[in-house]
Amino acid sequence: MFPFIDVQLVQAKQKVISMLLIFLLGHHLQLINYIVLSLEMLQIRIVLALLHIRLIILM
């Protein structure tokens, strides 16, 4: 009877751990996507700023 309970506990722990891992990975992926997007936005802003500066210099 006791070994069966132990097995159930181990399985429950594994389920919790895998759920936590999936949650953390999902969260990290969202964060990474957010960072990548913000970096792309920054690059676009820098390019626009450089173009703006060039236009001012040309004028």
pLDDT over 70 at 36, yes or no: yes
Helix extents (H) in 1-59: 2-58
Quote the domain boundaries for residue 38.
Answer: 31-59
Domain total in the chain: 1
42 domain residue, yes or no = yes
Check the CA dihedral 43-45-48-50 and report its sign: negative
Give the pLDDT confidence score for residue 31 in this predicted structure. 87
21 domain residue, yes or no = no
20 domain residue, yes or no = no
15 domain residue, yes or no = no
How far is the C-alpha of 38 from the C-alpha of 46, rounded, in Å?
A: 12
Q: Is the pTM of this model over 0.85?
A: no
Average the pLDDT over 15-26 and give the result.
89
How far is the C-alpha of 52 from the C-alpha of 59, rounded, in Å?
A: 11
8 domain residue, yes or no = no
36 domain residue, yes or no = yes
How far is the C-alpha of 19 from the C-alpha of 7, rounded, in Å?
A: 18
44 domain residue, yes or no = yes
